[in-house]
């Protein structure tokens, strides 16, 4: 497999396991090419994550394009499944994020005390409502609020 040394500012879109952007030298493996943007998909050696997602047709899509696709899904269908943690809703690779402006914990029949979190978000002028259930996962779905 081809390897390449790169020094630069690490994009948190690609290396979402790193918390901050920083200058660093990485040995990178060029693994695949993104089906959408045709850019090389690269990942840090020994890093976690593949650097890409696979869509329903088996195409490899880089995290940045996943973010674009998820944004499109949300705007077209008014619904998106992802993850919720600390007032932030994200898609799977974390390349699409919306901050919630309000959240409320309540009792859930199965998950118990504070087992259900309702949260509200504003994205491009529209309001969305999200629900997260349980304590041992971050899965959540948001839906467009009808006026
Ligand atoms: Zn891409």
Could you list the pLDDT tens digit for every one of the 147 residues in the chain? Answer: 455 555 444 444 444 444 444 445 555 555 578 888 988 887 655 555 667 888 777 888 888 899 999 999 999 999 999 999 999 999 988 889 999 999 999 999 988 999 999 999 999 999 999 999 998 888 999 999 986
Taking the C-alpha atoms of residue 135 and residue 95, their distance in angstroms, rounded to an integer, is: 23
Contact 138, 127 (CB under 8 A): no
**101 and 138 both lie in a single domain:** yes
For residue 89, what are the contacts with CB-CB under 8 A and spacing of at least 6? 82, 83, 97, 98, 99, 100, 119, 121, 130, 140, 142
**60 and 82 both lie in a single domain:** no
Last residue of a domain, one of 41, 64, 87: 64
**56 and 88 both lie in a single domain:** no
Taking the C-alpha atoms of residue 95 and residue 70, their distance in angstroms, rounded to an integer, is: 9
Beta bridge partners of 140: 82, 132
What residue has token string 């914990």? 105
CA 60 to centroid of ligand 1, rounded, Å: 8
Which domain covers residue 37, as residue numbers? 3-64
CA 52 to centroid of ligand 1, rounded, Å: 9
CA 66 to centroid of ligand 1, rounded, Å: 7
**99 and 42 both lie in a single domain:** no
The edge-to-edge listing of strands for the beta sheet with 40-44 is: 3-9, 23-33, 40-44
CA 55 to centroid of ligand 1, rounded, Å: 12
Identify the pLDDT of residue 4: 56
When divided into structural domains, the chain yields a total of 2
Q: Is residue 72 part of a domain?
A: no
CA 29 to centroid of ligand 1, rounded, Å: 16
Contact 121, 101 (CB under 8 A): yes
Identify the pLDDT of residue 127: 97
Identify the pLDDT of residue 137: 86
Identify the pLDDT of residue 74: 96
**42 and 82 both lie in a single domain:** no
Element (H, E) at 128: strand 126-133
CA 23 to centroid of ligand 1, rounded, Å: 23
Taking the C-alpha atoms of residue 117 and residue 108, their distance in angstroms, rounded to an integer, is: 9
pTM of the model: 0.72
Identify the pLDDT of residue 32: 76
Task: Give the E-state strand segments of 34-96 in sequence order.
Answer: 40-44, 52-54, 60-62, 79-85, 88-90
């Amino acid at each position: 497999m081809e390897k390449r040394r790169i020094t630069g500012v690490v994009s948190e879109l690609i290396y979402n396991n790193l918390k901050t952007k920083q200058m660093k030298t990485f040995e990178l493996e060029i693994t695949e090419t993104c089906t959408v943007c045709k850019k090389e998909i690269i990942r840090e050696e020994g890093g976690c994550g593949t650097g890409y997602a696979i869509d329903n047709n088996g195409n490899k899509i880089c995290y940045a394009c996943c973010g674009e696709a998820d944004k499109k899904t949300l705007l077209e269908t008014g619904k998106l499944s992802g993850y919720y943690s600390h007032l932030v809703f994200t898609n799977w690779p974390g390349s699409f994020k919306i901050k919630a402006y309000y959240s409320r914990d309540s009792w859930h029949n199965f998950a118990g005390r504070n087992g259900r979190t309702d949260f509200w978000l504003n994205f491009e002028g529209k309001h969305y409502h999200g629900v997260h259930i349980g304590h041992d996962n971050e899965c959540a779905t948001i839906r467009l609020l009808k006026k």
